[in-house]
Every structure is written in structure tokens, then in C-alpha cells.
Structure 1
């Protein structure tokens, strides 16, 4: 079970995370980027991360109160209400904090990312199986969030990759830890530094993605997987324990890596920051262009 790292101010603005609990299937569905009525930038803002952490803690409390500790496996599904899964870290915030020399604030953000990531991997001992449903591009921290989950279901046409090297940084919120559980370290390092956006079909062949389904069928594929998993809930719980025993993921490991990420970020020169800021403007233009269509959903 995770240990809370930090408690940032909790915003009471419109929710960016839509949480749906299905008691019959013992499943919690968490949809990022729920506030689609405005030109919203679908990244990991502090507001979204805070709401994700709150929801994870609420699910954990519900599991702790379960009168039947031998009950079958519980599922946590991470998906998106946007046309992308997630475009990664809040680059606008990064640029502002780095230029202002605010290492402590950047570290606070990074620690929040790590706690949310760790909870996706191990929310409550062995009782939760997490599923990422990637219905659009997952970049940077969005790719990391999918990798934290036990199963990745991706829809055809989506792409996943790490663009951080474009501004001379590396993905530091779980990429190495979780990607090396799926591919060899040398492959993971190449993927973290080549800035490629990999088609999910290629990632399936590599073993990074578990399932690729036609566009529009990701959520139904998750429901079918959940139904199958309920029949082997005891085995899945045992496998969660075995996985953690043989190849453990610890909060301490994730924190050490993200501390190095913060140090590397604070060393960025003006050229790297300008590249980051150009990416911010490109993402903002994309969000503004997509906003009218999203309001019709």
C-alpha cells in the first residue's frame, strides 16, 4: 500500500477526472480530461493529479472496508474523455518553475506524479488489477501512466512515445522502472531517448502493449477482459504478489529517479526551455482546434 508523499492544495474547480464505480463487476473506471467544454490541454496538470490521488485514496478506503478480504480481484481502469489518452507533463508549469528557479515546487509536482503512478501499479496490496485503455496518443507522462498499469489495451491508430529528449530531458516519473518490466533495458533506454512516437501495433509486437483492438472498441475490450479475469481472481491476486516479490517496484526507487529528473530539469539551458515552450504552444493550438468538436460529445 502506498504512503502519501505530499498534500498539495486541492482545487474545487470542475472535476477533470470522471469516476464511475461498478459494484457488480468490482470495477472503478477513471476517465481523465472530463472537463471537455473548454479548450482544455489534456496533460497531467496538478489539478488532474490531485483529483486522481483523491480518487485512488477513496478506492483504497473502500477496499479496506470490504467485509470479505477473500473477495475476487478488483479492477481499476484508466481511460480518457479526450481524443487523446494523455499528452504528458504540464510543460507550461515546468518552464515557469525552471525559469524561476523553483526546484522545491517542481519536486512537489514530480512527487505527486510518482505517488499517482505507484498507486496505479499497486493500489492495495494484491487485490487490484489495473488496466489502461489507450484510445488516442499517450506521450511522455501519458505513456508512463499506461505503463504503470498491469494491462495495456490500445486502439488502432494510437501512438505512444517519449518526446522529452527534444528539449534535452528524460521521462522521469516511472518510464525506466515500468518499461524495463516489459522490454530489455537497452531497448527501454533507446525508446526513452529516440523521441519516436511508436504505433501501438509495433508496441504490441515488442510486448509493450498487451492488446490492440479496432478504434472505438477499447472500453468494450476492457469489459470483456474484466469478465474473464473475475473467473481467475484468486490466480491474479497470487500473480500480483509473485510479480512484486520477484521484480519489486518500490516508491523509494521511483522517488530516486524523479529526484534525478528534477535535477536534470533545473539544469536545462535556454535552448531546451525554448523548445519546451514551442511544444506548449503547439499543444495549446491543438486543444483550441479540438474544443468545438469536443463540446458536441
Structure 2
């Protein structure tokens, strides 16, 4: 595969752009509708389109392909944002209404997707997060669910949920504690700091950092490198699933704790959520 190989349109969903390259790798660009001014966060519509696309990739594949190893790349079309996390406007509305079922349904949909990615879509897919803009809250959880995180210089990642009295509940603790010690994972969660990807790389959380504008090239080179030894990387997928397993039940149990904590938030925390929503909306309108 050439390092400057173009991408070809495979299918378009309302909120995501899906493309493929000549080697068969699937690229999913979130927030394809960003020009309409929508916030680049995990709206229900976005999750529906993302998980639909990933379910198609997860379908049984004919073994006529040149390699048994497949790749899925998650990226973003939104300027300056990989993903800004959960739909805080929806959270605030559901919490004010005391709607545990609605909040649990949303959280479960998040868990469905991140577990699918962490699990390698059944084992024969290597998932790569291409972070070319900020990844916050659930956006960072999405990146952490992937086998490899490639980030461009100048971008930031973080888990700021503590600012409105919560902790992240859709995989952050589970995925972080497989990359760093549980103590360091807890400190990152409770400090709520937004950190440059360069620092996260030094900590062992981000795998590869490249200059601004070089992310796609770096991902293509990584895919090319892994395709030289596809069976080794498939075996590594299986080894990771055994040695560093994050089960669906673990994720679902943790997100149930998150739902109960969210429903206990007071008005001050909900107003903080709504201020963040307004800031995100201003950012999207620029």
C-alpha cells in the first residue's frame, strides 16, 4: 500500500462519512454533518450510524481477501474536534426528568460500540483512532477502546466529567487501567485535566504522535506495516483479549453505577453541564 494512497467513498450515512482504500481498510469519519452547526459529540444519531457501520464490518467476511487482517480507522470531519464526548444536553434533560431508563439506554448504546471496538469486531480487526482534534470525555473513551491511538501534535485529550460532579462511565476506567496503573487512571479521572497528546504519549496512553497534518499518512504506514505480518497481529488481538480482557458485563455494570451517580446530581451540576453545552455550540458555530 502506498503511503499516499487515496481513499474512496464506500457509503455515506447522515452523520458519518465512510471510505475505503485499495487495501480494504475502512475509514469512518464522524461528524460528517458538522457544517449544519451540530455539536461534535455523541448524539444518538451519530451512535446509530457508527454502530451500523461497524456492524456491517463485523459481518462474516469471505475469505477470498489477500489478508485475514482487517483495519478500521476512526477519525473526524469536524474541525478541531475528534469527539467532545457525551450529549450533555440530553443528559441534563433526562436527569431533570428522573428518567433512569432513558439514561441507561443511552449509556448502554455507548457500551455496545466501545466494546465492539475493544473486542476487535470479533477478533480479526485492528481498530485505530486517528485523533486530529480534541478528544474529551466519551471521545477519549472511544479512542481508548481502539487498539492503537495515533494523534497529531497540538491536540488534547481528557476526562473533564468531574467538573460537573461525575466520573466517566463508558469505559474510561477499564481501558485506562489496561494502559497505565489503576492509581494513575484514577488520578487522571479525578483531576479532570485536559492534557496535550504529547504528555499522554509519554505516559503510555497515546501510542503514536505525529506532526500536524501527518496523521493519515502515519495511519497508512502503520496499516502497511501490520499487513506484513497479519497472522502475528491477529494472534496479538487474541492475546490482548485474554490478558487484558474488558468484558461487556464489566462495562455494563460500571455504566449502571454512572447512571445512578448522574441521577443524584443537583441543580448546580446540571447548570455546569448546560454551560458546557453552550460553549460547545458556540465552538461549532464558528
The 3-state SS of whatever aligns with 2:240 is helix
1:277 corresponds to 2:274? yes
Q: Deviation of residue 123 (structure 1)? A: 4.0
* 3-state SS of 2:56 partner: helix
**Structure-1-length-normalised TM-score:** 0.90
Q: Which 4+ runs in 1 deviate beyond 3 A?
A: 68-71
CA distance in structure 2 between the partners assigned to 1:40 and 1:30 by the alignment: 18
For residues 61-111 of structure 1, the C-alpha deviation after alignment (integer angstroms, 9 at most, x for no partner) is 1xx131359943100000000121000000000000000111101100000
- CA shift at 1:46, angstroms? 0.4
Alignment match, 1:235 = 232
Aligned residue number for residue 204 of structure 2: 207
What SS does the aligned partner of 1:170 have? coil
Residue 183 of structure 2 aligns with which residue?
186
1:26-70 residue CA offsets vs partner (Å, 9 max, x unmatched): 311000000132112000000000101100111111xx1313599
In the TM superposition, what whole-angstrom CA distance separates every residue of 1:190-224 from its partner, at most 9, and x where no partner exists?
10111110110001100000111011111111011
Q: Helix, strand or coil: the match of 2:36?
A: coil
How many residue pairs match? The answer is 274
* 1:131–1:150 Cα contact (<8 Å) kept: yes
User: What RMSD over aligned residues (CA atoms) do the two structures have, in Å?
Assistant: 1.5
Q: Is residue 72–residue 230 contact of structure 1 (8 Å, CA) maintained in 2?
A: no
Task: Report the equivalent of 1:20.
Answer: 19
Supply the distance in 1 between the matched residues of 2:149 and 2:120 (Cα, whole angstroms).
17
How far the C-alpha of 1:232 sits from its partner, in A, is 1.2
In the alignment, structure 1 segments of 5+ residues that lack a partner are: 1-12, 290-297
Deviation by residue 1:250-270 (Cα, 9 ceiling, x = unmatched): 111100010100000000011
